Amino acid sequence: MAFYFVPNLLRLSLGLSVPLLLFRSHAQVSVSAPEPQPVPSSLTAQFEPTGSEPVDTDTVISTTGGRYFQPRAGDRDFRGTRTTTGTRSGSCSANGSVFSGLGPRSVTGLTTSSRPEFVWYMTDAIAESPMLFRLLALDENGQASLVDSAELSAQAGFMRYQLPDSVPPLEEGKDYLWQVIVRCDPNRMSSFLTSTLPLQVVAPTPELTATLATATTDAEKAITYGNAGVWYNAMALVSAGTSAVDKDVRTGLLQDLADLESNDEAFSSILLTIVDQTSSQSAP
């Protein structure tokens, strides 16, 4: 089966011909990256929350006190264009269904890895739909080019995607966007849900390196990264954790992210819904 490029965000997502892959929590997915190509400015889309159930904002974190994630002083606000492509129709219409990429939106999310791991969350109803991951690089004029793409078989819960070795390592200081597109009804683009988040690679500070050297568990390392404002390393370390402390740190990171994004009511609410649904559960 082949698809053809048309200059539209969602049509472009159909224009990528890559193998269908089964994504598993502990597996690194390797795909061949297509040649970079221009991407329309309309690509910076966001999802629309698909659930409206009440959120429990009193979730208790049982690990050590203090914040789990705090952006660094001076972190740059993300001012990309935001349009809505989400909908409640199609196979994503079940009550309480939830989908979101996990990372900052009001500021650019940071990683110290040139091959970062991306994490998102989805519920059973949405996991029935085919899904596309894309990573895009932005130049100094804000123009985007495709870096990596992969068609994935969705599963409910926390999903992870590791940038494969076939893709050139990401550059420090360069702006990127990562997207997850859920094709609720593959024959109707208006049904697609899209989450788009900003990303930048930074060098670890000497203080971060020194503190990491004393951390002995993934949870301790995640808290260290989170306190240093490095979201993606922190979440990657505990996204698949099954121990009580890993789950608590993961919950704490999500709650702090929801607090950070409190001015974006829809995004903050869906993050708290994920907290409510997963704080007492194991990752898949």
Instruction: Quote the pLDDT of residue 279.
Output: 82
Instruction: Quote the pLDDT of residue 128.
Output: 74
CB 12 within 8 A of CB 43: yes
Instruction: Quote the pLDDT of residue 106.
Output: 92
CATH architecture of 18-278: Sandwich (2.60)
Instruction: Quote the pLDDT of residue 206.
Output: 97
Residue written as token pair 């597996």: 27
Collect the ranges in the chain with pLDDT lower than 50: 1-66, 80-90, 282-284
> pTM of the prediction?
0.73
Instruction: Quote the pLDDT of residue 139.
Output: 92
Sorted by sequence, the CB contacts under 8 Å of residue 45 that are 6+ apart come out as 9, 82, 83, 84, 85, 179, 194, 196
Instruction: Quote the pLDDT of residue 142.
Output: 87
Instruction: Quote the pLDDT of residue 78.
Output: 53
Q: Domain segments of the chain: what residues?
A: 18-278
